[in-house]
């Protein structure tokens, strides 16, 4: 008889409404320290960078490769460089939440659409 009472108690407990915990906002994304880009060839090479001509003017500049390249992000504060949208399917719609990936290096050349605060910005082309 006790086992019937125990089963009945479990059945009643299982049918009782569960108390839900209130939803908590997610923690703010951690900010990543941005590396300083050396302005001299010697400083660049000493810092592990590549001194190379970049963009249309082919002016020599230090290009650093970032250790977090390709990491999923929703803001450039989460990357050593910038948080860029994946442009393989065309530009993202402004105002619609999106995620991107951290940039490969410090080379600013090309056309890119940044993700800031989880939203895509207009595409910016740097020559």
Query: Residue 121 pLDDT more than 90?
Result: yes
Query: Residue 105 pLDDT more than 80?
Result: yes
**First-to-last C-alpha distance (Å) of the chain:** 84
Distance of CA 122 to the CA centre of its chain: 17
**pLDDT, position 18:** 44
| H or E element at residue 50 | strand 50-54
Query: Residue 90 pLDDT more than 50?
Result: yes
pTM for this prediction: 0.73
Query: Residue 93 pLDDT more than 70?
Result: yes
Average pLDDT for 88-115: 92
Tokens linked to 116: 């800031």
| H or E element at residue 102 | strand 100-102
pLDDT band at 89 (very low <50, low <70, confident <90, very high): confident
């Amino acid at each position: 008889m006790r086992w019937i009472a125990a089963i009945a108690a479990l059945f009643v407990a299982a049918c009782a409404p569960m108390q839900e915990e209130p939803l908590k906002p997610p923690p703010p994304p951690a900010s990543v320290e941005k590396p300083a880009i050396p302005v001299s060839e010697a400083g660049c090479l000493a810092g592990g960078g590549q001194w190379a001509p970049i963009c249309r003017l082919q002016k020599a500049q230090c290009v650093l490769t970032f250790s977090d390249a390709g990491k999923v992000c929703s803001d450039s504060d989460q990357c050593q460089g910038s948080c860029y949208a994946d442009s393989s399917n065309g530009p993202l719609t402004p105002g619609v939440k999106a995620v991107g990936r951290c940039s490969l290096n410090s080379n600013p050349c090309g056309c890119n659409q940044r993700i800031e605060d989880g939203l895509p910005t207009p595409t910016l082309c740097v020559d």
